[in-house]
Chains A and B, each alone.
Chain A
C-alpha cells in the first residue's frame, strides 16, 4: 500500500498571505495525485487532479505542483473561506489519502 504523508499537520496563516502544504508518497505515484478541501460538516471537494490541474470552478489562487513522490498545494492569497482541512490522495495504485493538513487562521 502506498502511504501518503502530509505536512504540517496544522498550518497557521493570516488572511491574504500564502499557504504551502506538502504531501509525500512512500513510492512514486507519477502525477496521479489529487487534492481535496473539506470544511466542517461538509463533504470533501476536489480541488486539483493530475497533480496540477484545477478542477471545474476552483479559483486560480489554488495551484498544485510536483510529481513522483513530492507534491505541493499552494494557496496564493488566503481568503476566509479557504480555512479548512486539505487532503492529498494518490490514485496511481488504487486510492490512498494523506492524514490531512488543517489550515487555520493565524
Chain B
C-alpha cells in the first residue's frame, strides 16, 4: 500500500524549534516530489513547498520562503519540515502529500497521496 505516515502532534512554546516528519512507503520514495501543505484552524489549504527526495531539489512558496526549511533523507524515505523559531501563528495542521506523476504528460501534477497530518500547537 502506498502511504505517507507523519509524526505525531506537537505542543511547543514560541521561540522553540521543531522538525516534523513524513515517511513514505509502498513506492519509490526517491522518484516523486513530496509537498507540504498548511491548514490553519478552520481555514483552507496553503502550499508551502516541495522537495524531490532523489536529489533534495527544493522549491518554496514565496509566502513560506525563509520561514521554514524542507529537507529529506532518502536512506529512510522520510521528508521533513522544520522551524528554527516557532510563532503562535504557526499553529496549524501540516500535511505532507505526494505529487502524482503523469506518464502521458511526462510531468508531475496533483497531490494524490496525503499523510494523516501533524497538528502543531504553539502557545506560551
Q: Which residues of A contact B116 (CB under 8 A)?
A: 43
Whether B106 is near chain A, meaning CB under 8 Å from some CB there, is: no
* Docked-complex contact A46 and B110, CB < 8 angstroms: yes
* Docked-complex contact A95 and B35, CB < 8 angstroms: yes
User: Which B residues from 68 to 124 make CB contacts under 8 A with A?
Assistant: 95, 97, 100, 102, 109-112, 114-117
Interface of B is mostly: strand
* Docked-complex contact A96 and B114, CB < 8 angstroms: no
* Docked-complex contact A99 and B44, CB < 8 angstroms: yes
Whether B66 is near chain A, meaning CB under 8 Å from some CB there, is: no
Give how many B residues have a beta carbon under 8 Å from the other chain's beta carbons.
22
Whether A50 is near chain B, meaning CB under 8 Å from some CB there, is: yes
Whether B47 is near chain A, meaning CB under 8 Å from some CB there, is: yes
Closest partner residue, chain A, to B114 (CB atom): A43
Whether B45 is near chain A, meaning CB under 8 Å from some CB there, is: yes
Whether B28 is near chain A, meaning CB under 8 Å from some CB there, is: no
Q: Which residues of A contact B46 (CB under 8 A)?
A: 97
Give how many A residues have a beta carbon under 8 Å from the other chain's beta carbons.
23
* Docked-complex contact A45 and B35, CB < 8 angstroms: no
**Measured CA separation A45–B95 after assembly (Å):** 12
Whether A15 is near chain B, meaning CB under 8 Å from some CB there, is: no
* Docked-complex contact A97 and B47, CB < 8 angstroms: yes
* Docked-complex contact A46 and B47, CB < 8 angstroms: no
Q: Which residues of A contact B117 (CB under 8 A)?
A: 43
* Docked-complex contact A100 and B44, CB < 8 angstroms: yes
* Docked-complex contact A50 and B95, CB < 8 angstroms: no
Whether B61 is near chain A, meaning CB under 8 Å from some CB there, is: yes
* Docked-complex contact A46 and B100, CB < 8 angstroms: yes
A49-B110 contact given A94-B47, A95-B35, A98-B44, CB 8 Å threshold: yes
**Measured CA separation A87–B44 after assembly (Å):** 8
New A-B contacts (9) at CB < 8 Å, excluding given A34-B109, A46-B111, A89-B45: A1-B62, A34-B110, A44-B37, A44-B95, A46-B100, A55-B110, A87-B44, A96-B47, A97-B47
* Residues of B bordering A, CB below 8 Å: 35, 37, 44-47, 50, 59, 61-62, 95, 97, 100, 102, 109-112, 114-117
